[in-house]
Structures are given as structure tokens and as C-alpha cells.
Chain A
Amino acid sequence: MNPTKIFLGAFLVNNILLMRFIALCSFFGVSTSINTSVGMSAAVIFVTLLAAWVSWVLYHALLAPLGLVFLRTAVFILVIAGLVQFVELFLKRYVRALYSAMGIYLPLITTNCAILAVTFLNIDYGYNLLQSTIYALGVAAGYALAIILFAAIRERLEDSPISQSFRGYPIAFVGASLISLAFLGFASLFGITL
């Protein structure tokens, strides 16, 4: 499959957050300010890539040949949890600046549905390593785009007069609904179907 289509599909047409509903917990929790969103996005892109590679290799080199496909769920989530731990320790020791910038987001990423979803979908779609990389990048970039856009809107909402019942989550959901509506317009971009 055409790499551009894989990327654009993941980035826009089937945006993981706004069209596929994956990673919503972090979406609403972290998007209260643009800064935290950018920090989270960076961490997500980084971990998603690593997780995609490690899980792909583990699956094709170990699980599948040994007939241990049924251990896939457990192995993938443990890989992600382990990677997150490892990255956190590594940053803490060697790249202090980066650690203080995005360190707090790392533990949250373990339960980020998008990363686990990417590891699974790479297998289900039958992607090779290169396609998996592109797909992982597309999904993570799509996550970043959606969450940063959303944070910008939420920051503006902070100062707007919103009726009591809608303050906080409800108006955020309505905002997400509108962005999602906009993204629906990407359907069939360059021939990529929903």
C-alpha cells in the first residue's frame, strides 16, 4: 500500500482520536493547555515509534513462528509498559532537560490506547516493518494534531462565558464534536476511504 496513503489515512482521514475514538482519556485530560499537549504529543510520538518496532519484531520473529500468537495482548502491553519505564529512566539519567519537560507524561502513556492499537493494527493490516513505521508515525502525528488543535480551543473556552452545566467536560465534548465534523471532511481525500 502506498506510503502516502497509509500516512494520510492515519493522520487525517481516520484520525485516531477524532474518528476512531482511541486515546480519549488522555485527550480530555491533557488538552487543557497547549503546552501540556505539545509535551504529551512528543512523548506519544516517541513511544509509539519504539513500541511499533519492538512489538512488530517480537511478533514476527518470536510469537508467530513459535505459535504463541495468543500471548500477543499480554506481550504487547508489557512491551509498552516496559518501554515507558525504560525511557523514563533513560531520560532521567542522561537527558535531564527533556525529562523535566515531558517526564510527567510518560507514565500516562502506558494506558494510552493509541499505542496499543497501533501495535495490534500493524499486525492485523499485514504491514511490513516500513509500513508499520509510517503507520505509527501517521497515527502519532494525527494524535498530536488533534490534541494541539483541541487545546487551542479549550484555552479560548477558559475565558468564554459558558453556561454552568456545560462548563468543563460538556463544552469540551461539543468542541471535539465540531473538530471531528471538520475532519469528516477529509473522507475520501486522495481516494482514501473511511
Chain B
Amino acid sequence: MVVSLVITCLVAALALAQVYAVTREKIETQRVEATRRSLAEVLPGAGDFEPAVPDSVWLGTDPAGTRVGAVIRVARQGYGGPVPVFVGVDTAGRITGLRVASAAEGLRETPGLGLKALEPRFQDQFRGRTAADLRLEKDGGTLDAITAATITSRAVTEGVRAGMEKYAGYLKP
């Protein structure tokens, strides 16, 4: 009885170790590729991204080598974990692009309300603004929140503003 149990465990463990070994590299590549794609999307013009602060700030340079700006990753705590946002900022401190990570990149929300944060209508508003300009209408500013998702909108707005202020030093060329 114990013998069959032990044999089963061993066979299972060996099979799984094999599977793990085979897939490990591919998984890592996927992760790196996905990050690269997100970075490029919010900071157009940059070809190369160099991590300045691990997992938080990347410095973008164009093919000629000049600094184009930086990409900051902020993640203000929502309920089910952080709401990850990539924001691209040029050297003048203006937002070039903003992207709330989708469910395929770690956004843990139930479908429906939470995912409305992905609406382009909401995200597009950020373009061109500086850190000073980032406040929802409801909080005295000029940004339009997502209908019925004020809290999520606020989390994104506040998170981006906080991130830009925190890493302001990296934005200068």
C-alpha cells in the first residue's frame, strides 16, 4: 500500500520536474517580451529600454541613442492586488501614453466593472498632461472618471500622479 503511494509520488514528481524544466525558459521569455511590448506602447519613438529601477522605471532611448523619456510602472493597491499601470513620460514631463495592464498581464478583477478601466476613452485623456494636471473632475480637476467606476478611476489617476512625482528625477534627460 505504502509502496504504491511512494511510487506514484515519485513518478509524478519526476514527470513534473521534466515539464518544469522544459517550459521554464519559454515562460521567462514570454514575461520579458510582454513587458517590452507594454513599454514600447506607451513611449512611442523609443527603441531601447533600460531598467533604472527594477520593475518600476525604464529609461527609453531612440535608435540614435538620445533619451526620449521614461516609462514608469505604478500599481496602486486596489482590492484584489495592485492595478498595474504603465505610463510613458517624455523629457518635458508630459505623458505620452498610458496603459492599464489587462487581465492577461496580472490585473485581477472579476469581469465587468473592474475591466472598464481598460476603456481607451478613459486612458486617452491622460495624454499630454503633466503631473500637476492629474485629478478627477470629482476631486477638483479635469479628468473624466469611468462611469460607475470612480474608485478604479481614482486609483489609476492617483497612482500615476504619485509615480510621476516620486520618479521625477528620472524624467530629466
Q: How far apart are B78's CB and chain A's nearest CB, in angstroms?
A: 4
Please choose the segment from B52-60, B107-115, B125-133, B161-169 that sits at the chain A interface, where 4 or more of its residues have CB less than 8 A away.
B107-115
Give a binary string over B142-173; 1 marks a CB under 8 Å from any A CB, 0 the rest. 00000001111001000000000000000000
A1 CA / B80 CA spacing, docked (Å): 10
Is A193 touching B19 in the complex (CB atoms < 8 A)?
Answer: no
Interface residues on chain B, size class:
20 to 34
Q: A161 at the A/B interface (Cβ < 8 Å)?
A: no
Query: Count of A-B contacts with CB under 8 A?
Result: 48
Q: Does B13 count as interface, using CB distance less than 8 angstroms?
A: yes
Query: Nearest-CB distance from B168 to chain A (Å)?
Result: 26
Binary contact readout B13-29 vs A (1 if CB under 8 angstroms, 0 otherwise): 10011011000000000
Check A39 for interface membership: any CB of B closer than 8 A. no
CA distance A187 to B151 in the complex (A): 9
**Alpha-carbon gap, A9 to B83, bound state (A):** 15
Decide yes or no: A193 and B155 within 8 Å by CB, A70-B20, A187-B113 being known contacts.
yes
Contact B110–A19 (Cβ < 8 Å): yes
Residues A9 and B79 in contact, CB atoms below 8 Å apart:
yes
On whether the beta carbons of B151 and A74 are closer than 8 Å, the reply is no
**Residue pair A1, B20 in contact (C-beta under 8 Å):** no
Contact indicator B79/A125 (Cβ below 8 Å) = no
Residue B81 is within 8 A (CB to CB) of chain A in the complex: yes
- Using known A-B contacts A9-B79, A70-B17, A188-B150, determine if residue A193 contacts B109 with beta carbons closer than 8 Å: yes
Write the nearest CB–CB distance from B61 to chain A, whole angstroms. Answer: 32
Chain A CB within 8 A of B12 CB: yes
B-side interface residues toward A, CB under 8 Å? 12-13, 16-17, 19-20, 77-81, 83, 109-110, 112-114, 149-152, 155
Q: Which residues of A contact B (CB under 8 A)?
A: 1, 5, 9, 13-14, 19-20, 70-71, 74, 124-125, 187-188, 191-194
